[in-house]
A = this chain, B = another copy of it.
Amino acid sequence: MSAAGSQGPFATFCGAWGPAVEAALRDLLPPVTAAPARLHEAMHYALFPGGKRLRPMLVLLGCRAAGGDPGAALRAAAAVECLHTYSLVHDDLPCMDDDDLRRGRPTCHKVYGDALALLAGDALLTLAFEGVASAGVDAVAELARAAGSLGMVGGQVEDLAVEGDARLHSLERVQWIHDRKTGALITASLVVGARAAGGSPPAGLLELLRAYGERLGRAFQIADDCLDLTGTAVELGKNPLADVALGKLTWPAMVGLERSLGTARALADEAVALAAPITASTLAWRGEPGPALDATRRLLQDAARYAVERRR
Which of A's residues lie within 8 Å of B, judged by CB? Answer: 30, 34-36, 38-40, 43, 86, 90, 93, 95-96, 113-116, 118-119, 121-123, 125-127, 129-130, 133-134, 136-137, 140-141, 143-145, 147-150, 153-154, 156-158, 160-161
Contact = CB atoms under 8 A, between A and B. Distances in A.
A40 B148 CA distance: 11
B126 A39 contact: no
B34 A150 contact: yes
Taken together, the copies of this chain in the complex come to 2
A153 B145 CA distance: 23
A197 B30 CA distance: 30
Contact of A126 (B38, B123, B144, B158): B144
A125 to B, nearest CB: 6
Given A130-B148, A144-B133, A161 B118 contact: no
Nearest to A96: B115
Contacts of A90: 118-119, 122
A115 B114 CA distance: 13
Most buried by B among A90, A113, A148: A148
A25 to B, nearest CB: 14
4 tightest A-B contacts by CB? A130-B144, A95-B114, A123-B149, A126-B148
A157 B39 contact: yes
A146 to B, nearest CB: 9
Contacts of A136: 137
A133 B141 contact: yes
B149 A43 contact: yes
Given A30-B149, A126-B144, A157 B118 contact: no
Nearest to A141: B133
